[in-house]
Amino acid sequence: MNTFEFAVKNGEMSSFFRGEGKYFIRCPDWGIHLHGANLSGAIESYIKENNYGNQVLESGFLIFLKSLKVDKEDFEHLLANLAAYFAIKNDKSGLSGVNFFRSSESVQILKSYLKEVRKSGLYASVQPEMKAYIDYMVENGSNLVRDVLDSDY
């Protein structure tokens, strides 16, 4: 059983997307969690092996979105997951048929969260560190996060 399947069976979607505990994949250079490795490894194999893997993944990501707190750590987890997701989708070799924003609910939750981040002042305080994630998403075909954070809401 891979880690994503384990997270699904144990209701640990938020922990999976945050890289907590057994879901942590250490970057050898910086010692931080590699969000992209989770998405391109355990998730891709789960999708290939399960008929409804795409829907399970999309539902799991929605659970993660709903669990986000307006703090630096969760904001970083969100941006790292989204950057990895858009890069894998842009590569066209992975996550075929997956759309984290297929439902209007996930789009609305993301927009609401990002607006709260912006209102809280968190984004301004971490903008230099977060700019790299946002630029990477834009390079990989998504302006969603940048546009919401840059909007006058």
**What are the tens digits of pLDDT across the range 22-65?**
887 776 777 677 677 777 878 888 888 888 888 999 999 999 99
Strand partners, 33: 26
Q: How high is the mean pLDDT of the chain?
A: 86
The residues, ordered by sequence, that sit 6+ positions from 38 with a Cβ below 8 Å of its Cβ are: 3, 4, 16, 17, 19, 23, 25, 84
Alpha-carbon distance 96 to 92, whole Å?
Answer: 7
